[in-house]
């Protein structure tokens, strides 16, 4: 990261329903990240603070851009739905486009301007087979042999969804870490608790692996919608109320589409002094 020694490192701060991100643009200048630097930026008192960090890289094979994601503990993540929506909105505004093709470790994703300030992203087809999620051993994924019978879903990252009577009543700060590290999930897992409001409306709260309790999560919302549809609790098009607001999720033939608001809060620079300990 020698190119940041004198000028610092530009960043953008964004959020989708309070699910917040630091975004680095690596298209014009190289961005080198270590787990230690990622975790330092994530520190809400000594750094900037975020649920996930994303790096924008030049697109390949016809894509407008490639996105790479990191959790607050410095670990990598293949998918982050709300960050994808936030960055898609930024890139569409920048290029004057109403649709984009993006790539991530999850694969190729489509993003479109949904009107009214809303942004939609197709998160791809869910992974429903045990070794794709992945789980530690072969089993059915609709109801795991775990107390509470949660569903397992992959959205480029693993999810464990508990359907409960009242999502508000679950002590998520204790419940989440208990299952994030469950032996059935060799790569750890995101944990959701969801309850029914109506046949087309769910209340969901989330514990994100490597992060903790978050106000919202796009990939978790997609996983919950898929699990609810598979169980016959809902149809394939639902509203999901999270701590930070509302997302619209629809499981279509071409993938799971997620629509909601985004916000670009600020732009700034990480100082050379801050970066010096990581060069």
Q: Which residues are catalytic?
A: 80
Cα separations (Å) of 38 from 3, 21, 146? 18, 12, 33
Specify whether the CB–CB gap between 41 and 53 falls below 8 A: yes
Q: Residues at the annotated binding site for substrate?
A: 19, 52, 71, 81-82, 157, 190, 208-209, 218-219
Residue 92 is encoded by which pair of tokens? 């569409």
Rounded distance between C-alpha atoms, residue 109 and residue 99, angstroms: 11
Rounded distance between C-alpha atoms, residue 62 and residue 260, angstroms: 26
Specify whether the CB–CB gap between 211 and 44 falls below 8 A: no
Specify whether the CB–CB gap between 172 and 193 falls below 8 A: yes
Grouping H, G, I as helix, E, B as strand and the rest as coil, residue 31 is coil
Enumerate long-range contacts of 129-137, CB under 8 Å, 24 or more apart: 133/158, 133/159, 133/185, 134/158, 134/185, 134/186, 134/187, 135/184, 135/185, 135/186, 136/183, 136/184, 136/185, 136/186, 137/184
DSSP string, 201-246: EEEEEEEETTTEEES--HHHHHHHHHHHHHTTSS-SEEEEEETTEE
Q: Which residues 6+ apart lie within 8 Å of 99 measured at CB? A: 92, 110, 111, 112, 113
Specify whether the CB–CB gap between 41 and 47 falls below 8 A: yes
């Amino acid at each position: 990261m020698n190119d940041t020694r004198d000028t610092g490192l530009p960043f953008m701060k964004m959020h989708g329903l309070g699910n917040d991100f630091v975004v680095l643009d690596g298209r014009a200048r190289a961005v080198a990240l270590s787990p230690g630097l990622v975790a330092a930026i994530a520190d809400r008192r000594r750094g900037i603070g975020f649920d996930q960090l994303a790096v924008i890289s030049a697109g390949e094979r016809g894509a407008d851009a490639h996105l790479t994601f990191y959790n607050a503990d410095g670990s990598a993540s293949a998918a982050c739905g709300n960050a994808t929506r936030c960055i898609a909105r930024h890139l569409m505004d920048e290029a004057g486009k109403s649709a984009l093709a993006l790539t991530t470790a999850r694969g190729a994703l489509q993003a479109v301007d949904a009107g009214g300030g809303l942004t939609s992203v197709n998160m791809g087809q869910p992974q429903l087979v045990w070794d794709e999620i992945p789980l530690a051993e072969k089993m059915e994924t609709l109801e795991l042999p775990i107390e509470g019978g949660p569903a397992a879903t992959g959205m480029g990252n693993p999810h464990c969804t508990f359907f409960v009577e009242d999502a508000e009543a679950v002590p998520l700060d204790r419940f989440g870490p208990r299952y994030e590290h469950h032996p059935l999930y060799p790569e750890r897992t995101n944990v959701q608790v969801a309850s029914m409001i109506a046949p087309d409306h769910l209340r969901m709260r989330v514990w994100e692996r490597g992060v903790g309790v978050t106000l919202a999560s796009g990939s978790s919302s997609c996983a919950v919608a898929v699990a609810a549809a598979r169980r016959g609790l809902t149809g394939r098009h639902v509203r999901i109320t999270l701590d930070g607001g509302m997302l619209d999720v629809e499981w279509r033939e071409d993938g799971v589409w997620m629509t909601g608001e985004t916000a670009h809060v600020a732009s700034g620079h990480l100082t050379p002094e801050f970066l010096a300990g990581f060069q």
